Homo-oligomer: A and B are copies of this chain.
């Protein structure tokens, strides 16, 4: 039984450079004072291009040539700065992680201080999610791409779990600490699983596949982060409370 007629459209057609790139001058370009604190913009352009490509097609779906082309730079320069393709990926992943981790921890700290003993699950969840949603709602395509990238890595078997762990576990443990204060009787297992569900919901939201737009026939927009945040906080908080407050029923059998 042979395969059907060949109408399998490819996953992605690599539409190659239509406009032949103008020949560029060799050697170091003039007027770039490479200070320690001010990295040359080629490097940043490479990171931006890689971020966009990796987030859209994953590690294996991208070639360094495509990244180089989008950054308007020779492929050798990518190797000069980042050594290997993997090195480039790691650099992209780490770049914004620092910033986001700091913002999240600061946000949880601030909430804990302001709430005192009146700490609530919803408040904690809100303080954890807010920095991300603020960045996303601001519309910067860089952050946009970055979140989509994280979402993909989070769902990548084999090496995704390890990468996520190394980068984000510190913040997650901070979140769980805060939640334990709001849910003093919570069982540890329930707490971890609840976080897992939160992580999944967040991840899919940030991955921006346009699935919900299509499913809801345009009623919900995957880019409407205000609408998302307003719904995600109570949805998730309610799940935590149900699962982690033993008095009110808890999980079903077993």
- A residues with CB within 8 A of B: 1-4, 6, 8-12, 34, 39, 43, 55-61, 79-84, 86-87, 89-90, 122, 148, 151-152, 154-162, 164-165, 169, 172, 188-190, 192-205, 207-212, 214-216, 219-220, 226-228, 230-243, 249-254
Q: How far is the CB of A226 from chain B (nearest CB, A)?
A: 6
Which B-chain residue is minimally distant from A152 (CB atoms)?
Answer: B155
Secondary structure of the A side of the interface? helix
Q: How far is the CA of A207 from the CA of B162 in the complex (A)?
A: 14
Taking a contact as CB atoms under 8 Å apart, the answer to whether A220 and B197 are in contact is no
Kindly list the 5 A-B residue pairs having the minimum CB-CB distance in the complex, ordered from nearest.
Answer: A200-B204, A60-B60, A238-B242, A161-B209, A235-B239
Q: Which residues of B contact A57 (CB under 8 A)?
A: 60, 158
Candidate in A9, A59, A201 with the most chain B CB atoms within 10 angstroms:
A201
Taking a contact as CB atoms under 8 Å apart, the answer to whether A193 and B220 are in contact is yes
Which B-chain residue is minimally distant from A191 (CB atoms)?
Answer: B216
Taking a contact as CB atoms under 8 Å apart, the answer to whether B205 and A200 are in contact is yes
- The answer to whether residues A159 and B238 also contact, given A2-B81, A39-B1, A219-B192 and a CB cut-off of 8 A, is no
Taking a contact as CB atoms under 8 Å apart, the answer to whether B234 and A212 are in contact is no
Candidate in A12, A34, A235 with the most chain B CB atoms within 10 angstroms:
A235
A selection of 12 A-B contacts at a CB cut-off of 8 Å is A152-B157, A155-B155, A189-B220, A192-B216, A193-B227, A196-B212, A197-B204, A197-B231, A199-B211, A230-B253, A233-B251, A234-B252
